[in-house]
Amino acid sequence: MKKAFTTIFAIAMAIMPLFAQEVDDVFAFADSEFNVFENGATIVRNVVDHDMSGAEVIYSGVYVMDMGATVDDYLRMHYTISRIDNGTCQICFPITCNSKTETGTYETSPGHLDGDLQDIQCEWFPEGDGTCIVELQIERLSRYGFPPQYEHEADGPTITLVFVKGDAPGPNPIEGDVDGDGEVGISDVNAVIAMILSGNDYDSAYDVNHDGEIGISDVNTIIDIILS
């Protein structure tokens, strides 16, 4: 009886929000070769480089790509630093740079992309071994008036960057946290449902019950985690 209720609950609560919470795709996260990262993807970076001053830095290698926007579109980046063991996290986008040393939620100034593909310049300057975790989300804006004011148009995709230096471990995976936002909730149910409907090849990240398949049983597993 519980399993039947769980299945009905999963379908009712997951499929409807799937269509109600559509992500705007005018702009997307991509790499330097124009390969788009999936919405909600988590990317781990652990290669320590050096900037022009010789300081140690780990680059994200993540860009924002114009998927067909017009010259009237503006955008800004919202970002949450959920972990920073040491050092400074810097984000330069589109034209201004913000440097943070503490966890918190921030945003960049509005602006245009410089071309069809622009480096976010999200990077961590570590002062020792450790981990820095940053979640980014694109917001699309329109501009009007003088002095200029900006109006929200749509929320774009999100991506999570995990910077790791040395032997410091990255974040421990949370069972059922399919979208990698650090919580288990309806967004994870939506992610699995979307994967099922997409018909894409098998991806172990969505196989929550580890049975080698992606189906309603994985949705049930996440619902059980939420209810418990």
Chain segment 80-112, per-residue pLDDT in tens: 999 999 999 999 998 889 999 999 999 999 988
Nearest C-alpha neighbor of 19 from the set 196, 212, 190, 227: 190
Going along the chain from its start, the domains and CATH numbers come out as 23-172 (2.60.40), 173-228 (1.10.1330.10)
Which helix (H) or strand (E) segment is 72 a member of? Answer: none
pLDDT at position 2:
47
Residue 184, pLDDT score: 82
> Which range, of 26-30, 78-82, 196-200, averages the lowest pLDDT?
196-200
Compute how many other C-beta atoms are within 10 angstroms of the C-beta atom of residue 13.
17
Rg (CA), the chain: 19
Q: Does the structure show a pLDDT above 80 at 134? A: yes
Residue 129 has pLDDT above 90, yes or no: yes
Give the integer Cα–Cα distance in Å for 71 and 183.
37
Between 218 and 168, name the one with better pLDDT.
218
Residue, of 23 and 143, whose pLDDT is higher: 143
The whole-number average pLDDT for the span 208-215 is: 85
- Cα 225 from Cα 228, distance rounded (Å): 5
Q: How confident is the model at residue 58 (pLDDT cuts 50, 70, 90)?
A: very high
> Is the pLDDT score of 8 beyond 50?
no
Global pTM reads 0.66
